[in-house]
Amino acid sequence: MLSSLAVLAALCPSLAAAYSFDITTTPRQCQTLDVSVTGSGSPPYSLLIIPFGPSPLQNNIEARTIVQQNFSGSSTSFQLKYPTNSQFVAVMSDSSGFGSGGTSVTATVLQSSDSSCYDASTNVQPDWTFKIDPPNQLVQCQAARLWWDQGDPQGDPSFFGVIPGGESFSIPLGALSDVVGTGRGFSWTPSIRGGTEVILTSGDNRGFGVGGSVVFTVSSGTTNDGSCLSNNSPSSTPGSPAGGSYPTSTSGAGVGGGADTGNGSSNGGSGSHSNVGAIVGGVVGGVVGLLALGLLGLFFYRRRRFHKRPVDLLNEDPTDGPTTETQQAYYRPEPFVLPDPTEGGSTVGAAEAFGTREDMGSRRASTTSLGATSTLPPPSGIASSRTGKSGRAPSLRPVNVVQHEDAGPPPPQEPAPEQEPETVELPPAYTNIRR
């Protein structure tokens, strides 16, 4: 029966499963494992439990064996004789072919108080083993020879490929040949993409897995030959893996929200919603936090921008001194305007003209020698008015100097010695030139 099932699986490639299976209890050391089937499968069903990864026991003692559980109903229960922290992959098959019900990812066995179901001091061995040539490698699209010792299998052997969380498939049995040094076997070209992790397992008339299993990571090879690959090539498929909810780590967390519930049971539906809610809540919280930080940074940026005063060390405070316009007006040159000859005699006019010129040059005038009153320089506004329409020079305003004697009269001053009058020569006025 098993040989005919293997031939049928070779002729019919794995398609989308019309049924699925669920691990309804948490896998625990030496405890009962419950598995149910839903959908329109074709009994009888066969559940294959394949050990994965190194043994968790001391000295790497391998106490795990491949378990095949056959049943015709919608569920099955059996004792899981795996130690704590063991890993395994579950594959469900029916009469339509190997792996037709799906393949789980690597599940983890959790702790329990019962450890009587296995011997932690003795390595177990399969009924027979197979080998691969070239040894210890599997290259995409490059032929490999699967072989075994003559007489080991009972009846025709069967070989299968299991990709955790992906597809499981039957390896067609090619033309058998006997080769010296490599026993009896056949050639197989793996149409599996490089980088894929695959479990090769073998069986015979006694059942799946009695020939043991080997884990390989497919290599792309030096030439990266992809001539054998197609859209139907086995691979790790995205989406939810088969098996429902079960732990995939020693903490109890796993796929489908499967977690350690403390009583050996797992509820996939509620765990799944809890995981989705936690993920959505974390994403929303992160987005809100980023928006809050962005708004806070924008607030401080705008506040600093509008309240910042520039510090100009080159410009002085306008209240500390005269403005630039006043300073420029103070040093602005003013033209010399010749007074009208009708406003005074030639001597006095010349003296006034001389006094005006002194006012323009040194900002102070003294015409005492000519008998005129001392004057102060006019403001720049008055000086600039000399260029009016009339063209006439403004008259000088007399200034009275008063000395107060509240503390008594000043001491008598000795008369100044007589000095010779100073002669001041003035240039010609040219006032009598006819126009």
Query: Three-state DSSP class for 52?
Result: strand
- Between CA 250 and CA 111 the distance in angstroms is 9
Whether residue 428 lies inside any domain: the answer is: no
Domain termination site, one of 268, 295, 310 = 268
| Residues 258 and 334 placed together within one structural domain of the fold | no
Which residues contact residue 126 at a Cβ distance below 8 angstroms, ignoring those fewer than 6 apart?
65, 66, 209, 210, 211, 212
Whether residue 107 lies inside any domain: the answer is: yes
- Between CA 241 and CA 412 the distance in angstroms is 128
pLDDT value at residue 18: 83
Q: Residue for token digits 């503390």? A: 407
CA distance to 87, 239, 372, per residue, from 214 (Å) = 14, 26, 131
| Residues 226 and 334 placed together within one structural domain of the fold | no
Beta bridge partners of 244: none
Whether residue 92 lies inside any domain: the answer is: yes
| Residues 370 and 233 placed together within one structural domain of the fold | no
Burial class (CB in 10 A: 0-12, 13-18, 19+), 156: middle
> What b/e sequence results for 295-312 when a residue is b if at least 16 CB atoms lie within 10 Å of its CB, and e otherwise?
eeeeeeeeeeeeeeeeee
pLDDT value at residue 364: 41
| Residues 203 and 333 placed together within one structural domain of the fold | no
pLDDT value at residue 400: 77
pLDDT value at residue 329: 58
Whether residue 173 lies inside any domain: the answer is: yes
Helix (H) or strand (E) holding 307: helix 268-307
| Residues 230 and 118 placed together within one structural domain of the fold | yes
pLDDT value at residue 151: 79
Whether residue 252 lies inside any domain: the answer is: yes
Contact at 8 Å (CB) between 48 and 90?
Answer: yes
Domain termination site, one of 243, 268, 293 = 268
pLDDT value at residue 27: 96
Helix (H) or strand (E) holding 22: strand 19-23
pLDDT value at residue 255: 55
Whether residue 367 lies inside any domain: the answer is: yes
CA-based end-to-end distance of the chain: 147
Full-model pTM: 0.56
pLDDT value at residue 325: 58
> In the numeric block, which tokens belong to residue 386?
């000399």
| Residues 153 and 223 placed together within one structural domain of the fold | yes
- Per-residue HEC secondary structure of 155-206 comes to CCCEEEEECCCCCEEEECCCCCEEECCCEEEEEECCCCCCCCEEEEEEEECC
Closest CA to 20 of 4, 36, 7: 36
pLDDT value at residue 119: 94
pLDDT value at residue 105: 92
CA distance to 18, 70, 244, 254, per residue, from 38 (Å) = 9, 16, 11, 21
Cis amide leading into 134 (omega within 30): yes
Whether residue 242 lies inside any domain: the answer is: yes
| Residues 123 and 212 placed together within one structural domain of the fold | yes
pLDDT value at residue 321: 53
- Between CA 340 and CA 395 the distance in angstroms is 11
Number of domains, the chain: 2
| Residues 153 and 248 placed together within one structural domain of the fold | yes
| Residues 250 and 362 placed together within one structural domain of the fold | no
Whether residue 321 lies inside any domain: the answer is: no
| Residues 368 and 233 placed together within one structural domain of the fold | no
| Residues 262 and 333 placed together within one structural domain of the fold | no
Q: What is the largest CA-CA distance in the chain?
A: 160
Contact at 8 Å (CB) between 25 and 266?
Answer: yes
Domain termination site, one of 387, 404, 426 = 387
Query: Three-state DSSP class for 285?
Result: helix
Q: What string of pLDDT tens digits covers the 435 residues of the chain?
A: 444 444 444 444 444 458 999 999 999 999 999 999 999 999 999 999 999 999 999 999 999 999 999 999 999 999 999 999 999 999 999 999 999 999 999 999 999 999 999 999 999 999 999 999 999 899 999 999 999 988 789 988 999 999 999 989 999 999 999 998 888 999 999 999 999 999 999 999 999 889 999 999 999 988 889 999 988 888 765 555 677 767 777 766 665 544 443 444 333 333 333 455 667 778 888 899 999 999 998 888 888 777 766 665 555 555 555 555 555 555 666 666 666 655 444 444 444 444 444 444 444 444 444 444 444 444 444 444 444 445 555 566 677 777 766 766 667 777 767 777 788 888 877 777 665
Residue 22: which domain range? 2-268
- Between CA 151 and CA 346 the distance in angstroms is 155
pLDDT value at residue 380: 46
- Around Cβ 219, how many Cβ atoms within 10 Å? 16
| Residues 238 and 372 placed together within one structural domain of the fold | no
